Amino acid sequence: MPATPAWPPASTPRLFVDQTLSAGLTLALDGAQANYLGNVMRLKAGDPVRLFDDRTGEWLAEVSDSAKRRVTLRLTGKLRARESVPDLWLLFAPIKKGPIDWLVEKATELGAARLQPVITQRTIVDRLNLDRLRANIIEASEQCDRTALPELAEPVKLTALLRDWDAGRALIFADETGGSPFAQVARPGPAAILIGPEGGFTPGERDAIRATPGAIGASLGPRILRAETAAAAAIAAWMTMAGDWR
Ligand code: SAM
């Protein structure tokens, strides 16, 4: 007896919509989303689309009308609730365009709950395009099947971050000059991973971080990693030992 094919098919387009979804809702998509569904995917009436809203979860919709600049969809059923994501934050010194886009995309795929840019003394990036980073987050979430978007916080200075730090959240400070083996610091529970800029932290910053209640210096091995590599590697290691990869 051949197995009945899964529905909706794996190839079904999946989009984030920034509005609360509910059963029976009809919504019209314009702009890039309409172009993607109508002209790129060439959807027609009756074709399925998966939508998620970062509030209620993921829904199945079907195309009710596909015009050149507008695609109208009707929600037909809820596929799953919004997921709970491990309580892991990534605190990162902004780095150059390109690497920072990669860092944000990988942190999203790997399951970070919150992305917090941190301005340090050696941060060379003076202007951060949060809209572009948020677009990267949305695109990565659509691709990797997240139903909960990582939160993207406004940049904060390192001094302010440390001053206001809640010691109830582990502050895992990736220190290329040496720290505890990562396996010893990754524990279930609220956590944050702090990654420095291309030029690393200053000695004074390092001392201030280590003096912060809840902070612990962690090594990511004997090699010097690029900041974006260090961020992805640290999140993956944490997910393996304390997150939702167990
Ligand atoms: N200071 C060096 C430099 O000037 O190239 C390295 C900075 S590294 C490119 C950027 C950040 O990645 C560091 O601040 C640290 O947070 C993290 N990192 C890189 N390699 C690491 C390692 N082996 N162990 C822990 N953290 C590392």
Tell me: do 188 and 153 sit in the same domain: yes
Inform me whether the pLDDT recorded for 221 exceeds 90. Answer: yes
> Token pair of 192, please?
């944050």
32: domain CATH number is 2.40.240.20
CA of 200 to the centre of ligand 1 (A): 6
How confident is the model over 18-25, as a mean pLDDT?
97
159's enclosing H/E stretch is helix 158-163
Q: The whole model's pTM is what? A: 0.95
Tell me: do 70 and 118 sit in the same domain: no
Averaged confidence pLDDT in the chain:
96
Q: Which residue from 100, 106, 120, 225 has its CB within 8 A of the most atoms of ligand 1, so it is best to mutate?
A: 225
Phi, psi (rounded to 5 degrees) for 140: -65, -40
CA of 188 to the centre of ligand 1 (A): 24
pLDDT of residue 86: 98
Is-contact 88 243, C-beta < 8 A? yes
Tell me: do 49 and 92 sit in the same domain: no
Separation between Cα atoms, residue 95 and residue 84, nearest integer Å? 29
> Token pair of 25, please?
């809702």
How confident is the model over 39-53, as a mean pLDDT?
97
Q: How are strands ordered across the β-sheet holding 26-30?
A: 14-16, 48-52, 57-66, 70-81, 26-30
pLDDT of residue 4: 76
pLDDT digits (tens, 9 = 90+) for 82-123: 999 999 999 999 999 999 999 999 999 999 999 999 999 999
Pocket residues: Cβ below 6 A from ligand 1: 174-176, 195-196, 198-201, 219-221, 223-227, 230
Point out the domain boundary residue: 31, 59, 81. 81
Is-contact 242 186, C-beta < 8 A? yes
Point out the domain boundary residue: 54, 81, 108. 81
Q: Is residue 6 part of a domain?
A: no
Domain total of the chain = 2
Whose CA is closest to 118, among 85, 86, 165, 150?
Answer: 165
CA of 52 to the centre of ligand 1 (A): 36
pLDDT digits (tens, 9 = 90+) for 112-160: 999 999 999 999 887 899 999 999 999 999 999 999 999 999 999 999 9
